[in-house]
Amino acid sequence: MKRRSFITATVLSATLAAFAGAPTASAHDADFYFIDLLRLQDGKTPADAAKYFELIEPVVAKHGLERALPSFNISQRMAGDLDVDMLNVWTVTDPKGTFDGIFTDDAYKVHIPLRNSIFDMPNSTMFVLTPNK
């Protein structure tokens, strides 16, 4: 296993372990999860990210993407080469339908320039997860 893959798997394991203790029942009933590990653009802050999420969360929720946990800032890197600043965990009703709906929604597309000004998208990492049942 490549070092980057190992570190990514370690971050995801820690996230899912924290998620397992989350109190929201609806999150545990979800079939799919979306994890984003986001890198901020130089000069941008978690407060900038929070303002962006306030704008887009109602839009993405109508397509089936809802926050499962609060947004986390990466406060300490323990090991590895995954260089990200924040982590988000979302529930997803249907990965294809949800993301197709989001990316074709004009109410979402209007915020893409803001998203790209805050987050270094090419250097961010995103996953859709299906729990083992």
* Beta carbons within 8 Å of 27's beta carbon, 6+ residues apart: 19, 68, 69, 91
Q: What is the pTM of this model?
A: 0.78
- Nearest-Å Rg of the Cα atoms of the chain is 15
Sole residue written with tokens 């090991």: 79
The DSSP code sequence of 53-66 is: HHHHHHHHHTTTEE
CA atoms of 103 and 11, how far apart (whole Å): 27
CA atoms of 107 and 65, how far apart (whole Å): 15
Instruction: List the chain domain ranges.
Output: 3-129
CATH for 3-129 (3.40.50.2000, 3.40.50.300, 1.20.990.10, 3.30.70.100): 3.30.70.100
SS3 state of residue 131:
coil
CA 63 to chain CA centroid, Å, is 15
- Show pLDDT as tens, one digit a residue, over the chain (133 residues): 454 554 455 455 545 554 555 444 344 567 899 999 999 999 999 999 999 999 999 999 999 999 999 999 999 989 888 899 999 999 999 989 999 999 999 999 999 999 999 999 999 999 999 878 7
Phi-psi region of 40 (alpha: psi -120 to 50; beta: other; left: phi over 0): beta
Six token digits for residue 133:
């049942």
